[in-house]
Amino acid sequence: MTAAPITGGIATDPYLAGEPAPSWRYLHHLNPLAKLAAPILPIIALLFVRDVATPAALIALTYLILLTGQRLSRGLVLLLVLAPVAIALLAVGLALWTDPGTLERVGDPVVSIGSWHLYSGALISGLASSLRLSAMLILALICGAATTGPDLVRSAVQHLRLPYRIGYTALAAYRFIPRFRHELDVIRAAHRVRGRNAGGGPFAAFVRGWGYVLPLMAGAIRHAERVALAMDSRAFGAHPTRTERHLVPWRTRDTVFLIVFTLACAAIFAAGALT
């Protein structure tokens, strides 16, 4: 869930800037609750897995889903490309911290420096832990990469009976982010015009940053007052329910995706338990 850029000097809505995803990018057209519920059980089950194959298979399954069903942005592609590198570095780091006395299978020394040895068992243990942690994070991308805040809130209000006072209040707070970024750009431009951004080095950067705090807080208070007045003028909170302008239905494809993904994950865990 990324924010849209500031265009024309106006803080734009972070959820309305992108073009609609094509129909074959199916993740964008699923109910957010289906994408949120699908990875929950596998993430919890990964806490009890100690082998290498199970999290690796889950990562491969998630990659397949993201590459076929998710619109590929530059940030997502970079994340998917760098993920294996991060997994390898984390595996080596965890292997270096592993006490050989705690390993069931120490294995043969892979690297020896004097009296210190890095055993193959430590590398396997570090790789298993690294894959497990990475699989949890990558599974969360199924929901996070293709879901917008408004759709998630609307779906939770409509299907989970989340009180709209909570959901839409949180959504209003989240939408402060692009507004703050816009006001920070305005404050920086005003400071440059007044010559207050002169100087270099860490101390000058700290002074400049400290000078942004007070005007940014004042702008935040003004914006919060305007949002509160707008919500009051629309009788927000006056009734237990509100009419939804945008419906986020639960369709048959949501049920099919949830069932198929759960069965695929169950098969992966079952295969890992048998090996």
Which pLDDT value is given to residue 43?
95
Count of C-beta atoms within a 10 Å radius of residue 139: 24
Give the phi and the psi of residue 224 in degrees, each rounded to 5.
Answer: -65, -40
Q: What residue segments make up the domains of the chain, in order of their start?
A: 26-147+251-274, 157-233
d(CA 120, CA 109): 6
Tens-digit pLDDT string for the chain (275 aa): 444 444 444 444 544 545 677 778 899 899 999 999 999 999 999 999 888 999 999 999 999 999 999 888 888 899 999 999 999 999 988 888 876 766 666 677 777 777 777 777 888 888 999 999 999 999 999 998 888 888 888 899 889 888 888 888 888 877 787 888 888 888 888 878 877 666 666 676 777 777 788 888 888 888 888 888 888 888 887 888 877 778 889 999 999 999 999 999 999 999 988 87
d(CA 186, CA 215): 10
Which pLDDT value is given to residue 5?
45
Which pLDDT value is given to residue 10?
47
Which pLDDT value is given to residue 6?
44
Which pLDDT value is given to residue 198?
60
Which pLDDT value is given to residue 208?
75
Which pLDDT value is given to residue 45?
95
CB distance 213 to 241 below 8 Å: no
